């Protein structure tokens, strides 16, 4: 015990609590957006029209919840895995405040119509700089701690975080290269087809390195700790890591199939998208083999199901995604609600189940008395699971029907369905989506309450102690 | 193996390795294309945005229109029918950022330019559901109240290196945000020449008759289609609003059953969309049967047929100097308000050029003046000006046209 370092988890806790706040805000905006499909009158002021609100929803969740949990959980993992205290804790503390200011200004500026229009990169240039600053401060704390480590080997979770930190930095900066006109307006340095190609190289790798690699990192760290089982194969995790980070960067153009982009770029992207099944499923297989013979833990340990079912959705997601990249399937489902279902299975299924499981674990470690209520955690799990399934399945059905009906022609070659006929068809599915989203939101609120109560029973002094 | 494994003991080495690994795909699929010509082809038909269009485009971006509307037509027959010609790379040369979008909650807009008249867009932005009943688009009435902010227009044009004239900048004075947005929409996809798709002439026999003229059930179905797809522009009472009156017995493009079919099938460049293949040919006949059934009822009430002259009637005052002088006086008094003193057009069309919308023969010009063009606001002058004086006005118009 004498050699044990003193950990500093206060910034970690701050980031996690902040991310829960932004998560709630993002989900509430998402629910409102879903309602706008049913009642267009809800677009009653410029600030909350669908076109502006959607960007606020996406960025609120990607930056506020996504980046917030990545930084918060990384500050925890990197200290534990290095057996070293956080490097420059005051910088981390400043970063926490700066992060929240950035997230707030991000949402407000998007609602005000300051946008560069590029998906997941909507923020205008002053906010881009703030986001990069948050990330650089995160990187300094992370690598600084890593250099203090007393453990010689870096565990696989840390590789995934390293991959996340460098790749997000590269893609974010390149895609946001723009010429400022004023504080609120800029133009992309790329134009036309190049701009599209750069954007989706970025867009797909934002999905990869904000919603996949860090979450796999969480999984490799918090899953074995939570279920108290060793990971099945270290070798699979090595192969999985390198092949995943290699292949992802080739696949962006599968978002642009049948657009005026040269065919070869699309074809290369499709080929690598299919290849991606291999590294993705390496992680899946590693996870399920770890559970092999221990499935009773699904019942006996409340955290197990968050990770296992989360991984199940990752498995599904990484089959669905490559399938969508195929020209034959893309021509049907691209531009429809099917894609919305796909994205939300990834985020509401895989990402948040795994992240919430990890946060439960950290919270119960930071709170000296363990989790506040396992029962509430179970209710949370079932609400978000059912909510997500209602959401995604209704969007898949709506999207597939939409895709086929857009193409349907009659005997004389005329279109059978007008565009508006399918708006009417989608209405019940959009209603179901709202209901699913509401269940999910309620589940998330229960999660926050549970985490809050767990942390509340741990005084500040507990957060800085040697033996957790 | 252990030597290789040492990479997992060195954070800097691992980081460098990771950067190299992600760089490969990045360079091949993203960096290399930046230097390839087929990513940025130029076409002489393409041209940069005007100041008004650029400001409109920035409003399109600000309001996040790209979240629901794509701007690329894919190479499928259904999309070509629904939207128009397949998008090509050169069309986007001046687009910073690109606005291809990723979701079609609303229809694709790659070929929206010129599809509808300006007035359609104004009405639609103010109250989308007044035009498209099932629409879930937000109302953008506030754009009409916001004056266009031109603080940075000049800087934008200079930064993007787009050509502009002082007049174009001055013309922004007094414009609203909606004016700019409509100007942008009318520009989208317009540099592309429209595709020579199927024209009604190719599928309809010369002696085609409406098979549903007296079919009650078909007329009812036609009414249903009309109310959903046509009434927003031609009025629920068919008396016109954005588009012309359909029951005043004046047909701009011919009034036979076959002509009406062709008008609906092909649309018109003045802002009537082409309905060919968007609804079945059968449905086109049913809609026209419905229109005819209403028009027939109207006709009984006020059957004033348009005045017609024999096809080769010549102007008796052609070239007569006195007549031209009188014609000019009459023209200045009655016609110059719309067609301008020199007849080069203002509210009404230019009369000195080669284009005659309603026919260039003497008798056709006479008929146009005599009968007026109600849909365009041209009065029926036959009631107020004597036949001789109409001929003299024509002499005057011919004289200024010749001088050109």
How far apart CA B88 and CA B72 sit, in angstroms, is 8
User: Would the CB atoms of B18 and A55 count as touching at under 8 Å?
Assistant: no
Confidence of residue B162 (pLDDT cuts 50, 70, 90): very high
Q: Tell me: pLDDT of A466 over 50.
A: no
Confidence of residue A468 (pLDDT cuts 50, 70, 90): very low
Q: Tell me: pLDDT of A459 over 70.
A: no
Query: CB distance from B189 to chain A under 8 Å?
Result: no
pLDDT value for A2:
44
| pLDDT (average), residues B277-293 | 91
| pLDDT (average), residues B106-129 | 95
- Smallest Cα–Cα separation from A198: which of A266, A253, A270, A127? A253
pLDDT value for B206:
86
Shortest Cα distance from B249 to chain A (angstroms)? 29
Angle (CA) B282 B285 B287, round 5°: 110
pLDDT value for B300:
56
Which pTM value belongs to this model?
0.86
| pLDDT (average), residues B103-108 | 97
Classify domain B321-403 by CATH number: 1.10.760.10
Query: CB distance from B48 to chain A under 8 Å?
Result: no
Interface test with B, best of A32, A191, A252, A268 (most B CBs within 10 A): A191
pLDDT value for B99:
97
| DSSP string of A10-52, one letter each residue | HHHHHHHHHHHHHHHHHHHHHHHHHHHHH-GGG--SGGGSHHH
Rounded to 5, what percent of chain A is helix, strand, coil? Answer: 75, 5, 20
Q: Tell me: pLDDT of A18 over 90.
A: yes
Query: CB distance from B27 to chain A under 8 Å?
Result: no
β-sheet bridge partners, residue A182: A185
Determine the length of chain A.
468
Among chain B residues, the shortest Cα distance to A155 is held by B8
The answer to whether the CB of A107 falls within 8 A of the CB of A59 is yes
Contacts of B91 in chain A (CB under 8 A): 260
Query: CB distance from B145 to chain A under 8 Å?
Result: no
Confidence of residue A465 (pLDDT cuts 50, 70, 90): very low
How far apart CA A356 and CA A69 sit, in angstroms, is 9
Classify domain B204-301 by CATH number: 1.10.760.10
Confidence of residue B196 (pLDDT cuts 50, 70, 90): low
Contacts of B31 in chain A (CB under 8 A): none
User: Nearest CB to A420: which of B29, B102, B132?
Assistant: B132
Among chain A residues, the shortest Cα distance to B70 is held by A335
pLDDT value for B271:
82
Angle (CA) A17 A19 A24, round 5°: 100
The answer to whether the CB of B87 falls within 8 A of the CB of B110 is yes
Q: Tell me: pLDDT of B270 over 80.
A: no
How far apart CA A410 and CA A390 sit, in angstroms, is 33
CATH fold of B51-187 reads Cytochrome Bc1 Complex; Chain D, domain 2 (1.10.760)
Confidence of residue B5 (pLDDT cuts 50, 70, 90): low
Element housing A379 (H / E) = helix A374-407
User: Would the CB atoms of B82 and A37 count as touching at under 8 Å?
Assistant: no
Q: Tell me: pLDDT of B45 over 80.
A: yes
CB atoms within 10 A of CB A193: 29
User: Nearest CB to B96: which of A49, A188, A256?
Assistant: A188
Cα Dmax for chain A: 85
User: Would the CB atoms of B136 and A37 count as touching at under 8 Å?
Assistant: yes
Confidence of residue B293 (pLDDT cuts 50, 70, 90): confident
How far apart CA B203 and CA A410 sit, in angstroms, is 16
Q: Which of residues 250-309 of B touch A (CB under 8 A)?
A: 276-283
Q: Tell me: pLDDT of A189 over 70.
A: yes
Shortest Cα distance from B322 to chain A (angstroms)? 58
CB atoms within 10 A of CB B388: 12
Shortest Cα distance from A466 to chain B (angstroms)? 24
pLDDT value for B2:
53
User: Nearest CB to A192: which of B98, B140, B280?
Assistant: B98
User: Nearest CB to A414: which of B65, B88, B279?
Assistant: B279
SS (H, E, C) A270-306: HHHHHHCHHHHHHHHHHHHHHHCCCCCHHHHCCCHHH
Contacts of A81 in chain B (CB under 8 A): none
User: Would the CB atoms of A409 and B78 count as touching at under 8 Å?
Assistant: yes
How far apart CA A456 and CA B9 sit, in angstroms, is 38
Contacts of A250 in chain B (CB under 8 A): 25, 28-29
The answer to whether the CB of A156 falls within 8 A of the CB of A238 is yes
Query: CB distance from B16 to chain A under 8 Å?
Result: no
Among chain B residues, the shortest Cα distance to A156 is held by B8
User: Would the CB atoms of A268 and B28 count as touching at under 8 Å?
Assistant: yes
- Residue B204 CB partners (closer than 8 Å, separation 6+): B258, B261, B262, B265
pLDDT in tens, B238-261: 988 888 888 887 788 888 889 899
pLDDT value for A393:
98
Query: CB distance from B202 to chain A under 8 Å?
Result: no
3-state secondary structure of A153: coil
Angle (CA) B8 B13 B18, round 5°: 90
Query: CB distance from B150 to chain A under 8 Å?
Result: no
User: How many beta-carbon contacts under 8 Å exist across A and B?
Assistant: 260
Shortest Cα distance from A181 to chain B (angstroms)? 7
Contacts of B105 in chain A (CB under 8 A): 37
pLDDT in tens, A291-334: 999 999 999 999 999 999 999 999 999 999 999 999 999 999 99
Angle between helix axes A304-325 and A374-407 (nearest 10 degrees) is: 10
Shortest Cα distance from B43 to chain A (angstroms)? 13
What value does the mean pLDDT of chain A take?
94
Which of A257-271, A437-451, B57-71, B331-345 bottoms out in mean pLDDT, i.e. has the lowest?
Answer: B331-345
Domain definitions of chain B by residue range:
2-35, 51-187, 204-301, 321-403
Q: Tell me: pLDDT of A375 over 80.
A: yes
| pLDDT (average), residues B129-151 | 96
String of b and e for A436-463 (b: at least 16 CB within 10 Å)?
bbbbbbbbbbbbbebbeebbeebeeebb
Shortest Cα distance from B279 to chain A (angstroms)? 6
| pLDDT (average), residues A435-445 | 98
Angle (CA) A208 A213 A215, round 5°: 115
Query: CB distance from B35 to chain A under 8 Å?
Result: no
In terms of DSSP bridges, do strands A185-188 and A178-182 run parallel, antiparallel, or are they unpaired? Answer: antiparallel
Would B51-187 and B321-403 be classified into the same CATH topology? yes
What value does the mean pLDDT of chain B take?
89
A39 cis-preceded (ω within 30 degrees of 0): no
Percent of chain B with pLDDT over 90: 53
Confidence of residue A467 (pLDDT cuts 50, 70, 90): very low
Percent of chain A with pLDDT over 90: 93
Q: Tell me: pLDDT of A240 over 80.
A: yes
How far apart CA A454 and CA A327 sit, in angstroms, is 49
Which of A141-145, A219-223, A337-341, B303-307 bottoms out in mean pLDDT, i.e. has the lowest?
Answer: B303-307
Cα Dmax for chain B: 109
User: Would the CB atoms of B100 and A147 count as touching at under 8 Å?
Assistant: no
How far apart CA B328 and CA B71 sit, in angstroms, is 50
């Amino acid at each position: 015990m004498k050699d044990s370092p003193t950990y500093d988890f206060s910034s970690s806790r701050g980031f996690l609590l902040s991310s829960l706040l932004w998560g709630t805000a993002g989900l509430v905006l998402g629910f409102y957006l879903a309602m706008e499909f049913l009642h267009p009158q809800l677009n009653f002021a410029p600030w909350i029209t669908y076109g502006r609100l959607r960007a606020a929803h996406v960025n609120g969740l990607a930056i506020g919840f996504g980046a917030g949990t990545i930084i918060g959980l990384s500050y925890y993992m990197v200290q534990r895995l290095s057996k070293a205290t956080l490097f420059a804790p005051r910088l981390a503390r400043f970063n926490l405040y700066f992060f929240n200011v950035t997230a707030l200004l991000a949402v407000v500026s998007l609602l005000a119509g300051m946008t560069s229009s590029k998906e997941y990169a909507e923020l205008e240039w002053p906010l881009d700089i703030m986001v990069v600053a948050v990330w650089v401060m995160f990187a300094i704390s992370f690598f600084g701690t890593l250099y203090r480590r007393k453990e010689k080997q870096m565990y696989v979770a840390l590789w995934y975080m390293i991959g996340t930190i460098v790749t997000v930095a590269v893609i974010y900066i390149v895609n946001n290269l723009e010429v400022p006109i004023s504080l609120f307006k800029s133009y992309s340095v790329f134009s036309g087809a190049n701009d599209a190609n750069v954007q989706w190289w970025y867009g797909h790798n934002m999905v990869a390195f904000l919603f996949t690699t860090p979450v796999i990192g969480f999984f490799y760290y918090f899953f074995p700790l939570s279920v108290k089982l060793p990971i099945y194969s270290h070798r699979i995790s090595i192969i999985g890591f390198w092949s995943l980070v290699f292949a992802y960067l080739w696949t962006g153009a599968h978002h642009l199939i049948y657009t005026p982009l040269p065919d070869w770029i699309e074809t290369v992207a499709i080929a690598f998208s299919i290849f991606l099944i291999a590294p993705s499923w390496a992680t899946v297989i590693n996870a399920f083999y770890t559970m092999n013979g221990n499935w009773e833990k699904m019942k006996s340990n409340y955290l197990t199901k968050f990770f296992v079912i989360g991984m199940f959705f990752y498995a599904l997601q990484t089959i669905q995604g490559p399938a969508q990249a195929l020209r034959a399937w893309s021509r049907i489902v691209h531009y429809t609600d099917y894609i919305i279902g796909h994205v939300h299975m990834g985020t509401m299924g895989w990402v948040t189940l795994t992240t919430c499981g990890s946060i439960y674990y950290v919270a119960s470690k930071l709170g000296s008395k363990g989790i506040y209520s396992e029962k509430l955690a179970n209710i949370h799990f079932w609400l978000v699971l059912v909510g997500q399934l209602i959401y995604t399945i209704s969007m898949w059905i709506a999207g597939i029907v939409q895709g086929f009906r857009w193409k349907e022609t009659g005997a004389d070659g005329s279109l059978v369905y007008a565009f508006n006929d399918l708006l009417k068809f989608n209405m019940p599915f959009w209603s179901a989506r709202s209901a699913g989203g509401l269940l999910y939101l309620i589940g998330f609120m229960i999660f926050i309450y549970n985490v809050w109560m767990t942390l509340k029973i741990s005084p500040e002094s507990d957060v800085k102690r040697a033996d957790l | 193996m252990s030597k290789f494994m040492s990479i997992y003991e060195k954070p800097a080495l691992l980081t460098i390795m990771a950067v190299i690994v992600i760089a490969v795909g990045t360079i091949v699929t993203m960096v290399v294309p930046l230097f390839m010509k087929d990513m940025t082809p130029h076409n002489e038909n393409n041209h940069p945005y005007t100041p008004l269009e650029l400001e409109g485009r920035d409003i399109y971006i600000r309001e996040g229109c790209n979240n629901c509307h794509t701007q690329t037509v894919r190479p499928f027959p259904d999309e070509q029918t629904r939207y128009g010609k397949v998008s090509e790379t050169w069309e986007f040369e001046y687009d910073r950022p690109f606005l291809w979008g990723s979701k079609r909650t609303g229809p694709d807009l790659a070929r929206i330019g010129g599809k509808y008249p300006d007035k359609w867009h104004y009405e639609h932005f103010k109250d989308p559901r007044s035009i498209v009943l099932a629409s879930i688009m937000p109302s953008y009435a506030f754009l009409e109240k916001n004056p266009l902010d031109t603080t940075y227009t000049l800087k934008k044009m200079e930064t993007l290196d787009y050509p502009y004239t002082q007049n174009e900048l001055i013309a922004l004075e007094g414009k609203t945000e909606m004016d700019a947005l409509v100007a942008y929409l009318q520009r989208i996809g317009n540099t592309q020449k429209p595709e020579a798709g199927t024209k009604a002439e190719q599928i309809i026999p010369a002696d085609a008759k409406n098979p549903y003229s007296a079919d009650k059930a078909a007329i009812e179905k036609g009414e249903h289609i009309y109310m959903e797809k046509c009434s927003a522009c031609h009025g629920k009472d068919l008396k016109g609003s954005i588009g012309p009156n359909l029951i005043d017995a004046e047909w701009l493009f011919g009034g036979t059953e076959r002509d009406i079919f062709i008008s609906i099938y092909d649309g018109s460049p003045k802002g009537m969309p082409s309905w060919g293949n968007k609804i079945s040919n059968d449905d086109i006949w049913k809609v026209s049967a419905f229109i005819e059934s209403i028009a027939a009822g109207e006709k009984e009430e006020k059957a004033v047929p348009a005045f017609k002259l024999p096809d080769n009637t010549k102007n008796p005052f052609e070239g007569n100097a006195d007549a031209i002088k009188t014609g000019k006086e009459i023209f200045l008094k009655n016609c110059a308000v719309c067609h301008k003193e020199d007849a080069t057009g203002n509210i009404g069309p230019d009369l000195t050029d080669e284009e005659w919308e309603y026919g260039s023969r003497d008798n056709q010009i006479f008929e146009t003046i005599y009968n007026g063009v109600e849909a365009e606001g041209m009065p029926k002058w036959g009631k107020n000006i004597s036949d001789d004086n109409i001929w003299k006005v024509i002499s005057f118009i011919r004289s200024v046209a010749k001088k050109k």
